[in-house]
Amino acid sequence: MFELVWYNKIINTVVQMEQKNKEKRKAIKLRKKGFSYAEILKEISVAKSTLSLWLRSVKLTKRQKQRLTEKKINSMKRGWEACHQKRIDLTKEIIEKAEKDIIRLTKRELWLIGVALYWGEGHKEKQKSAQAELSNSDPLLIKIFLEWLLKVCDIPKENIYFRIFLHETSKSRLKEVKKYWSSSTGFPIKYFQKISWKKNKINTKRTNVGNNYFGLLRVTVKKSASLNRKIQGWIKGICKHSGVV
């Protein structure tokens, strides 16, 4: 009985050793084909330390090393793309949820928004006859400002005029730029005849270049020195009643 048990143990040990040798030969074969450790471990269920021991004497050709490098780069790229898409999805989710926090604005709310907008982006009074002006390249910001002027400040449409500031390299796109601002603001093309040309810098850091560049638009209200002063008073009122002064 003892001899039979001993014999079975020997047989099992031999079978296990042969299985390990078979796995080792397969691992070496895969490695010589340029497979990475991670890829081999998917094919052979052994500890990474064991695999490393088996493969330490395997020399790879230049082409095999290049393949492994390319696979690492592609793997990193896929990981980056997955993270990038996750960030895009999360950003979209946050924005859509936050958008629902805002409901229809009252005239008073629009008034306060316009004052804060002018405070940050508008031209401050530097001389007695200073007019109310705001400059920006964001069409939505410009449109809200115009809504504020027309609906809150009761400024007649004919008292508003525009000036486009555009880089010299975009002269050939002037017609397109005028149409863009006309469409964005709802004002006819005839309102966009005043152009100021900016000298182009070769090493520009601007991101809105090429066909995505439509310059900067200045909105000016005619004979609006009093409005400008009133805006400064509204700003002081906000500061006073918010407790910051």
In the predicted model, what is the mean pLDDT of the chain? 86
Global confidence as pTM: 0.68
Interval 199-239: pLDDT, tens: 876 455 655 667 889 999 999 999 999 999 999 999 999 99
Closest CA to 196 of 226, 237, 245, 163: 163
Interval 100-142: pLDDT, tens: 999 899 999 999 999 999 999 998 766 556 899 999 999 999 9
Strand partners, 166: 197
- Rounded Cα distance, 134 and 123, in Å: 6
Q: Where are the domains of the chain?
A: 2-59, 107-241
Interval 50-85: pLDDT, tens: 888 888 877 777 777 777 777 778 878 888 999 999
